[in-house]
Structure 1
């Protein structure tokens, strides 16, 4: 791996050409994947990709003028000091697409900041006047891209387009994260109440109750996760990648059950049971608040549905365990 200061002018131009090609590909990938949900941001990335192609043509023309048709193979990975391009456009965004809008915008800001720094440093390194002038011009151009990328990162300031994209982002957050997470939390918090408290009052043993609760929580998490993942591929409903959605649902289901299971690590049975009951109350009111905050359910209605239902399940478990 070479140091930047050891690169020849031909290698600097070759590196710049390869970098422009890579950045243009990434921007076009961003645009394609963001287009269905965020058209205004996608248009901005298309424009940035086209400018990267224009920069590449100018660099290639300069290389041919100075060094002919044979070009050395030099990429960012061959030179020390360059950040590895985050493959968000090729992998992570496919899993979270199109939820990770802010991650994409942030990546673009990092890319443009690095490009502007590279061209400024390269312009100070080369001796040929024409090459120096071209690199300085590209440094200024990348600074303009950097300003646009920073604007994108902070939120697209495009009036109605930006507001529409923010509304879309919130809708996708609701469909892909909040709904499966809430479904899992409700199932884990409520469905495990009866077996856990039945085991508690049947055995009067903290450790045995903990084992039952752990098994019930993990089992419910696996079951709910698989059910959610296999229920809908998300292609039509915009509910996102099925396995991501299933993972969110499964983890929240397990956490919902573990919340009132963990107190039974306390050896004293009645202390553990009192704390577990308190956790149950907090869980139920938290679920009611989430339904009110994200699902537009009146808080009073959500409280009655969730808290009353949960307490009935809790009492059922206690009665059965005491029989």
Structure 2
């Protein structure tokens, strides 16, 4: 327990191989998609249009995950190592939605913005540590996409919640 609190037993990000960086990115995109779906579920009753925004954002994360898995298969094969945020020292954390209930719309929006910013920073750092051209291109593309998610969220909000 104390090792988790103080970060003992965690690997420094700098020590990760390209295979491990891709595995971490895959698990991170999966987690983010789950979080957005949980937000959508929590908002459906009181904010059904905003819930649709988070459903679409989850689908976007699924697309990122799929692209990462495809690249991983091409480079490293079918077995993706289990590596998660909590295994990496200094890596950003995500709190599950059940720890931050009740889900207020403003809280969810600000948390989503922070998630996208953290993901952007991860992809920028990951791309710097990658020598393979196709991997670097995908990580750079994902960094740009994460940065653009705030714009996506605003567009989706305008589409689903007119006058918001």
> Shorter-chain TM-score: which interval?
0.7 to 0.9
Q: Give the Cα–Cα distance (whole angstroms) in 2 for the partners of residues 15 and 160 of structure 1.
A: 32
Instruction: Give the TM-score taking structure 2 as reference length.
Output: 0.86
Tell me if the contact between 1:76 and 1:84 (Cα under 8 Å) persists in the aligned partners. Answer: yes
Give 2:127's match in structure 1, choosing from 114, 123, 126: 123
Q: Give the Cα–Cα distance (whole angstroms) in 2 for the partners of residues 159 and 133 of structure 1.
A: 31
- Matched residue of 1:119: which SS? helix
Q: Give the Cα–Cα distance (whole angstroms) in 1 for the partners of residues 150 and 114 of structure 2.
A: 8
Cα 1:160–1:13, aligned 2, differ >3 Å: closer, same or farther? closer
Structure 1 position 90 matched with structure 2 position 98? yes
1:227 aligned partner = none
Q: Give the Cα–Cα distance (whole angstroms) in 2 for the partners of residues 32 and 113 of structure 1.
A: 23
Give 1:106's match in structure 2, choosing from 104, 110, 132: 110
Q: Give the Cα–Cα distance (whole angstroms) in 1 for the partners of residues 76 and 105 of structure 2.
A: 41
- Matched residue of 2:158: which SS? coil
Structure 1 position 79 matched with structure 2 position 88? yes
Tell me if the contact between 2:50 and 2:157 (Cα under 8 Å) persists in the aligned partners. Answer: no
1:60 aligned partner = 69
> Shift in Å at residue 162 of structure 1?
5.1
Q: Give the Cα–Cα distance (whole angstroms) in 2 for the partners of residues 60 and 17 of structure 1.
A: 7
Give 1:141's match in structure 2, choosing from 142, 145, 149: 145
- The two structures, once aligned, show a CA RMSD in angstroms of 2.1
2:48 aligned partner = 39
Tell me if the contact between 2:11 and 2:87 (Cα under 8 Å) persists in the aligned partners. Answer: yes
Superposed structure 1 runs of 4+ greater than 6 Å apart: none
Aligned length: 155
> Shift in Å at residue 124 of structure 1?
1.2
- Matched residue of 2:79: which SS? coil
2:25 aligned partner = 16
Tell me if the contact between 1:40 and 1:162 (Cα under 8 Å) persists in the aligned partners. Answer: no
Instruction: Give the TM-score taking structure 1 as reference length.
Output: 0.45
Cα 1:121–1:108, aligned 2, differ >3 Å: closer, same or farther? same
Unaligned runs of 5+ in 1: 166-323
Cα 1:70–1:158, aligned 2, differ >3 Å: closer, same or farther? closer
Q: Give the Cα–Cα distance (whole angstroms) in 2 for the partners of residues 40 and 83 of structure 1.
A: 29
> Shift in Å at residue 5 of structure 1?
1.1
2:136 aligned partner = 132
Q: Give the Cα–Cα distance (whole angstroms) in 1 for the partners of residues 24 and 47 of structure 2.
A: 32
Name whichever structure is richer in helix by fraction.
1
> Shift in Å at residue 159 of structure 1?
8.2
